[in-house]
Amino acid sequence: MGFPTNALLNAKMNTLILLLLNEEIISCFEGGVLMGEIRSGSSRGPLVVFNRLTRTELKKAWHGLKSIVRLTVGTAEEPIPHSEDWGHIKSVINDCIYAIGGEVSARSRTVDLGTFFLNLSEEGRLKFYGILAHDFDVDRRVLEQKIEVLKRAETYEDKIKGEIELKTALVPPRSRLLKQFNSLPNGIKFLIDMRADLMSKTGDDPYLYKVSLDIKEILSSWFDVGLLDLKEITWNSPAALLEKLIEYEAVHEIRSWDDLSKRFATDRLCFAFFHNKMPEEPLIFVEVALVDGLSDNIQELLDKAGRKTGDDEANTAIFYSITNAQQGLAGIHLGNFLIKSVVEKLSVERSSIRNFATLSPVPGFRAWLHSKLEEEGEDILTQDEIKTIRSHYDCADSSAQLKEILADGWENDELSSRFLEPVLLRLCARYLVKEKKENRALDPVAHFHLNNGASLERLNWRANVSEDGMSRSYGIMVNYCYRLSEIEENHEKYLTGHEVTVGREVKGLLRKG
């Protein structure tokens, strides 16, 4: 990309272009529909990333920026061809990374590169990721040289110098390209969705996994909780934002606008984290019900939404749904900060709310129980349970009989339900408290809340008899309690001692085992 020969004019032009790339100018191009996203844990299946109006909106914004850049510096640079000329693509990536022709020119090419990427098929995107993974990875020869230099360093100064050089050598060149998207309109969202797409393709490929980690590291620095805004979403929020709640909700499906309106009744609240570069795009959101005492049934809680609870009646905030709206931010811990932030906010603003708890699913219980019945047979049951099942059903193998009952639509039979209740509740308590994976709770939801400083307060029978609730946990749901005075202590006990803080009812269930 050619620049004016006059040095002073050249400097002024560079300054102008950098101003155009500044956030204030970029905001002129932002708006409209942003990228589609993969739901985190949604039962309705993942959306296709880079879908809807994403391509049109981004290309329109990027084209405006590109036109200003070219007009200002008078370039006639050849755009990237629509055909997948991978040799040329490698050359363009290289020019972007090493700022051939200047930093501004590199940013201009990044726009073309991003537009080209949006037009790729799924197979084409995989090829693009492969180029980033292999052609622009760390240079292992340089890396080995830096390691040897550090090994031979004798003085303190040489060791520090060697460590700095080694650290630099460990950063792959592709990271410079990925960071350049930050200065483009909606570029951060582009990068988030790129990681979401990439995560679905990594498989067992360690090179693609490394690219995903590179993007995660970049996003982690941009999405530190100190840089996020906690905002309440209400029925009066922009319609486009409310539409996103319907689209992203991953725990309890929102089926219609009428269904959504219940989530904003007088005793219902919704809070979300936002980033200033994505002001209309929630990162993660939590839905809260203000009730009297612990809720023990999700259908009842959702059906009662809209019934006004007086300020003197509501003493408990129930967190009944938390959804990660951006799959590309997976592994960047925002949920724990969101819940703690809302607890602190409500404890200050609503003096009547003294208790904070969840009504949470147990997504892994059914699968775990089936595997244990296969592996351990009757050993998973207590002697009293074995005797009761054998006597009641006149059978020789209580575990085989239990598997048969569980597979036979028992939930529609009141007698079978009452018979199974104490057995399944005890086994679920064991699953949540005793079953571990690398010293953490095996159940992912349990790990999230326990690591966040909550206590496992109560198990609720037939709390979610929907198809989803029965298929994952036989309808059992859990109350995790957040007590402000105990959060830090519970977190430390779980993190360092792998100890789960449990309530009285859960202790009773565990004693039966």
Residues marked active site are found at 360, 449
Radius of gyration of the chain (CA): 28
What is the C-alpha separation between 482 and 344, in angstroms, rounded? Answer: 11
The closest of 134, 166, 138 to 150, measured between CA atoms, is 166
What is the C-alpha separation between 513 and 432, in angstroms, rounded? Answer: 13
Q: Do the Cβ atoms of 433 and 510 come closer than 8 Å?
A: yes
DSSP 41: S
Strands 477-482 and 455-460, by their bridges, are: antiparallel
What is the C-alpha separation between 35 and 51, in angstroms, rounded? Answer: 6
Instruction: Specify the residue for token string 């789960």.
Output: 500
Question: Six-digit token pair at 124?
Answer: 């084409």
The closest of 306, 301, 302, 309 to 350, measured between CA atoms, is 309
Q: HEC profile for 196-212?
A: HHHHCCCCCCHHHHHHH
Residue 249 CB-half CA count within 13 A: 19
Hey, is 74 helix, strand or coil? coil
Burial of 219 from C-beta contacts in 10 A (0-12 / 13-18 / 19+): buried
Q: Do the Cβ atoms of 34 and 193 come closer than 8 Å?
A: no
The closest of 201, 196, 128, 137 to 170, measured between CA atoms, is 137
DSSP character string of 249-285 = --SS---SHHHHHHTTSTTEEEEEEEETTBTTS-SEE
Burial of 510 from C-beta contacts in 10 A (0-12 / 13-18 / 19+): middle
Q: Which residues pair with 229 in a beta bridge?
A: 274
Instruction: Specify the residue for token string 């040329």.
Output: 88
